[in-house]
Amino acid sequence: MKLNPQQAPLYGDSVITVQLTEEDQVEDDVVFYLVFTGSTVQHCTSTRKINPGSLETISPGHDCCETVKVALCASREGHPVLVVAEEDFQFVQDEAYDAAQFLATCAGNQQALNFTRFLDRSRPPAADVDFLDEKVALAFRHLKLPAEWNVLGADQSLTGEDL
């Protein structure tokens, strides 16, 4: 088995292709899934057959940057589940995750958010902005924020009109 790519952002949601070896080729009555085992968290994902030699899945979100073991498991009705192959996989922090952390840290700080002027001047293509927005939103949902955190920051005197 070979995973492509061999890494994904911490917040997940990336397509992973699994290239099978000849002896692992997909039969119609076999269901494959992937088990990602990290130091503290384990994830199980279903797969979709692309062709007899390839599967596809969506990477799960993970709790920290680390290399995990990915086990390709096969299941067939009336038979025990088999671990077919294992491969290393990395969860990494990317630019979208960095941006989400920055935004969370700077909530309520007007001066820190002046980078939007740069975006206004550089005028990236709308499709790029939409793609980045989706990734930052995914990363933001994955952040571990304190229960008392809010978008207004520490200044609770602001109202919705001030936003």
Give first-to-last CA distance, the chain, whole Å.
51
Tens digit of each residue's pLDDT (9 = 90 or more) over 113-135: 666 665 566 666 777 778 888 88
Q: What is the CATH number of domain 2-92?
A: 2.60.40.10
In angstroms and rounded to an integer, the radius of gyration of the C-alpha atoms of the chain is: 21
- For 68, residues 6+ apart whose C-beta sits below 8 A from its C-beta are 36, 37, 38, 62, 88, 89, 90, 91
List the chain domain ranges.
Answer: 2-92, 95-142
Tens digit of each residue's pLDDT (9 = 90 or more) over 24-53: 766 778 899 999 999 999 999 999 999 888
Q: Is 89 exposed, middle or buried (0-12, 13-18, 19+ CB in 10 A)?
A: buried
- Greater confidence (107 vs 100) lies with 100
- For 57, residues 6+ apart whose C-beta sits below 8 A from its C-beta are 15, 16, 18, 34, 45, 46, 47, 48
**99 confidence band (pLDDT: 50, 70, 90):** confident
